[in-house]
Amino acid sequence: MKLTVARIGRAHGLKGEVSVELHTDIPEERLVPGEALETEPAAAGPLTIESVRTQSGRWYVRFDEVTTREGADAVRGVELVIDAEESDEDDAWFVHELVGLAAVRPDGEKLGEVVDLLSMPAQDLLVIKQPDGHRAMVPFVEEFVPEVDIDAGTVTLTPPYGLLSGETPEATGETHGAS
């Protein structure tokens, strides 16, 4: 099984540099000059990293095989992947392992179902489809997602008031002193 490290984004400049959307907590170890990474689709690679830089929180990569803007445009959307056995990231899950899990409170109250995982610059977001059809985005951080239990088919959530539809401050323990 393959683990996605990053997805190639837009071309940056005229000489083949691209932005990448990270799917790893350790990009400085995964995106190393000289490293050849497999791709999905496989026909697009492998791609060998020539250089890596960050600017304003974004990561930019240049590959030996991509030397023009047209080449960079051609690899947009390609995923850089590694064998899952090579992953040494703690608490790392595949998106397909999370999708379909029941989202519950610590007391077992069902809040909905995980339907997606979005990778954002600050942190990943779990997308939860609630019974009323509302889609809530919960930051995938330990404070709000203290437990993922793949075997039990659940992800425990402790989101702050306001992230889920139809809740009251009392339900989240965030009452702010009554008058």
Give yes or no for residue 179 having a pLDDT over 60: no
Residues sharing a CB contact under 8 Å with residue 90, sequence separation 6 or more, in sequence order: none
Higher local confidence (pLDDT), 122 or 42: 42
Tens-digit pLDDT profile for residues 139-168: 888 888 889 888 889 999 988 878 888 776
Give the pLDDT band of residue 30 (cuts 50, 70, 90). confident
29 has pLDDT over 90: no
Nearest to 76, CA basis, from 28, 155, 9, 124 = 9
Tell me the pLDDT tens digit for each residue of 68-92: 999 999 999 999 988 765 444 555 6
d(CA 114, CA 128): 5
Percent of the chain exceeding pLDDT 90 equals 41
Q: Rounded to an integer, what distance in angstroms lies between the CA atom of residue 135 and that of residue 126?
A: 10
Q: Which helix (H) or strand (E) holds 98?
A: helix 95-98
State yes or no: pLDDT of 174 exceeds 70. Answer: no
- Residue 3's nearest CA partner among 33, 26, 19 is 26
Q: What angle do CA 99, 138, 89 make, to 5 degrees?
A: 65
Q: Does the pLDDT of residue 169 top 60, yes or no?
A: yes
d(CA 68, CA 122): 30
Residue 20 has pLDDT above 60, yes or no: yes
Task: For residues 4 and 97, give the distance between their C-alpha atoms in angstroms, rounded to a whole number.
Answer: 13
| Spatial contact of 114 and 99, defined as CB atoms under 8 Å apart | yes
In angstroms, the CA 85 to CA 153 distance is 23
Query: Coil, helix or strand for 21?
Result: strand
Q: What is the pLDDT of residue 52?
A: 95
Domains within the chain, CATH numbers bracketed: 2-86 (2.40.30.60), 95-172 (2.30.30.240)
Grade residue 99 by pLDDT with cuts at 50, 70 and 90.
confident
Predicted local distance difference test score (pLDDT) of residue 124: 81
